[in-house]
Amino acid sequence: MLRYYKPLTVTVSEQDAGKEVRTVLERRLGVSRKLLSQVKLTEHGLTLNEERVYTTAKVSAGDIIRVRMEREQSDDILPQDLPLDILFEDEDLLVVNKPAGVIVHPTHGHYTGTLANGVVYHWLQRGEKVRFRPVHRLDEETSGVVAIAKTGYVHQQLSEQMQRGEVDKRYLAYVYGAPPAPTGVVDEPIDRDPESPHIRIVTPTGYPSLTRYEAVKHFGGGPGEAAATLVKLKLETGRTHQIRVHMKHLGCPLIGDKMYGADANEITAWEDCVNRQALHAASLGFVHPLTGEKMEFHAPLPPELTALEALLKQHSKHASNVRFWT
């Protein structure tokens, strides 16, 4: 098994002549200081014209800088032969459609049966030594698209795209009632509930949180009288439980949400049908950090949500066609 991943390579331009290696790598590839501090410790981690070099070394036009990252492995994650719905994979990135009821990463009391267990097994079967690095996470009961970086550099680059708001994350949710307007923005700060730290709430002292929504189908009435609504959502920030908290704040809690859901006297047949929060990460778009290709992945509605929609239609007087943002 190879020790290093395929190197990141930069040919020094006239414009970069006389600059330090780290400056060139930061400007040309966006390589972080943290990553450079790791690779420079290995024999061939950082080279200038195939000679080991310090990050402060000065370069000349035409020089070749190479960054080689050592292959890592998640030795603390038990490999398990679990079903995976793989949407895309290359040597740098894995994108999967996660089913509801599966935790992304092992936690205390949940060491097996997670997405990580299945992915690590998958890589071992392919003869790949890779560390499990999810770029983002979904709640256990949320289904849909999850991106997993296979190198530290790809993880860093995608994380920075997310921080800059360049990752397009879109969700579908079935909620009680209807939002106050057909389209809108929920711009309300979120933080932990001081009395129940595992719960998030809207609070003036919280972290900035912004969710865009569009009501695309009403069930059991029109916009002002709907018993339930299919809502399409786009996250501009990525706070824990953001969609669930913001929808509850609008007075439209998610169907099946045990933590932020409707009161016990709501329509229980819908709850029994879905048996989890009715939230699905329908699509994910970003730029591939190495190829520069704009990529977009879609995950179809899982069976339990199509069954919920069928049940909701029994209550519907009129339902608009689903529209997707452009």
Task: Note whether residue 75 is domain-resident.
Answer: no
Same domain assignment for residues 190 and 261? yes
Pick the closest to residue 146 from 9, 282, 313 (CA basis).
282
Q: Is residue 128 part of a domain?
A: yes
Q: Which residues contact 311 (CB under 8 A, 6 or more apart)?
A: 269, 270, 273
Name residues whose C-beta falls within 8 Å of residue 109's C-beta, 6 or more positions apart in sequence.
none
Q: Are residues 177 and 154 in the same domain?
A: no
Q: Which residue has the higher pLDDT, 225 or 295?
A: 295
55 occurs within a structural domain: yes
Q: Give the residue carrying structure tokens 């709850």.
A: 271
With the C-alpha atoms ordered 238, 243, 244, 246, is the resulting torsion angle positive or negative?
positive
Average pLDDT over the chain reads: 90
Report which of 66, 70, 68 is spatially closest to residue 48, judged by C-alpha positions.
66
> How high is the pLDDT of residue 324?
37
Tokens of 289: 């950090």
Q: Does 240 reside within a domain? A: yes
Asked whether residue 111 carries a pLDDT value surpassing 80, the answer given is yes
One of 16, 63, 92, 139 is an active-site residue; which one? 139
pLDDT value of position 305: 97
Do 111 and 196 sit in the same domain of this protein?
A: no
Closest CA to 145 of 301, 306, 281: 281
Q: How far apart are CA 46 and CA 236, in angstroms?
A: 36
Backbone φ and ψ of 54, nearest 5°: -85, 155
Per-residue model confidence (pLDDT) at position 325: 39
Mean pLDDT within 150-169: 93
Residue 102 structure tokens? 């599966």
pLDDT digits (tens, 9 = 90+) for 45-99: 899 999 999 899 999 999 999 998 888 888 889 999 999 999 999 999 999 999 9
Above 70 in pLDDT, residue 321?
A: no
* One domain for residues 175 and 298: yes
* Residue 59 to residue 12: CA distance in whole angstroms: 7
Confidence label for 1 from pLDDT (cuts 50, 70 and 90): low
Q: Which residue, of 131, 163, 195, is where some domain finishes?
A: 163
Each residue's pLDDT tens digit, 193-219: 999 999 999 999 999 999 999 999 999
CATH assignment at residue 12: 3.10.290.10
Residues with Cβ within 8 Å of residue 251, at least 6 apart in sequence: 177, 180
Number of domains into which the chain is organized:
3
Distance CA 254, CA 271 (A): 10
Distance CA 76, CA 308 (A): 38
Q: Are residues 140 and 250 in the same domain?
A: no
Q: Which of 150, 175, 161 is nearest to 253 (CA)?
A: 175
In a domain, 175, yes or no: yes
User: Has residue 264 got a pLDDT over 90?
Assistant: no
Q: What is the dihedral of CA 195, 198, 199, 201, to 10 degrees?
A: 70
pLDDT for res 208: 96
Q: Are 46 and 107 in contact (CB under 8 A)?
A: no
Please check whether residue 265 lies inside any domain of the structure: yes
Question: Looking at the domain assignment, is residue 232 inside a domain?
Answer: yes
pLDDT band at 223 (very low <50, low <70, confident <90, very high): low
183 and 270 fall within a common domain: yes
Active site residue 139: yes
Last residue of a domain, one of 67, 98, 118: 67
Residue 322, pLDDT above cutoff 70: no
Domain final residue, candidates 163, 198, 215: 163
**Residue 151 is part of which domain span?**
86-163
Helical H runs in 21-130? Answer: 21-29, 33-39, 115-125
Do residues 193 and 123 both lie within one domain? no
Per-residue confidence band for 317, with pLDDT thresholds at 50, 70 and 90: low
